[in-house]
């Protein structure tokens, strides 16, 4: 590991953009491509939004974000909450599955995370919370000649 960031913030929807920006700023030290930054920001946004909207629902709680950077240019991101948990993770990870059918954007969060990251794992316990762990190996740094 070459660096690590640990932050905790309240489950306010305004903090979703903060988490996304913090992740992008922190991984900048690895000189990622624009596309890699966009992918990571989108995955973080989905994970944090899930924690706010589904994990805590109408209550307040803390969201924990941990980002580790390794020498082989791997970014490991963990988003954790102490919310209500997911009764059936396998079912929840199916595209278009939602517990909120009235929200037209529902049901694609886990699919988006899986598509933008190399690996994604969800561990959840009802009544105790959910942990989403995502990893992405960044492309090698290109050396500009000049």
Of 51, 48, 47, 44, nearest to 26 (Cα)? 44
CA-based torsion, 34, 40, 46, 52: positive or negative: negative
d(CA 116, CA 134): 10
The dihedral sign for the CA sequence 106, 108, 110, 113: negative
The DSSP-derived string for 30-83 is: G---HHHHHHHHHHHHHHHHHIIIIISTTS--EEEEEEEE-TTSEEEEEEEE-S
> Could you give the residue numbers annotated as active site?
46, 50, 105
User: Exposed (0-12), middle (13-18) or buried (19+): which is 144, by Cβ within 10 Å?
Assistant: exposed
């Amino acid at each position: 590991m070459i660096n690590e960031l640990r932050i905790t913030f309240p489950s306010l929807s305004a903090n979703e953009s903060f988490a996304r920006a913090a992740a992008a700023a922190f991984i900048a030290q690895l000189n990622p491509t624009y596309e890699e930054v966009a992918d990571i920001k989108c995955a973080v946004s989905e994970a944090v939004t899930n924690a706010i909207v589904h994990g805590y629902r109408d209550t307040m709680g803390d969201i924990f974000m941990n980002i580790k950077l390794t020498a082989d240019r791997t970014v490991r991101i963990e988003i954790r909450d102490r919310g209500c948990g997911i009764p059936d993770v396998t079912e929840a990870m199916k595209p278009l599955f939602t517990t909120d059918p009235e929200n037209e954007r529902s049901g694609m969060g886990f699919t988006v995370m899986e598509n933008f990251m190399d690996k994604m794992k969800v561990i959840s316990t009802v009544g105790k919370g959910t942990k989403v762990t995502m990893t992405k190996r960044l492309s090698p740094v290109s050396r500009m000649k000049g």
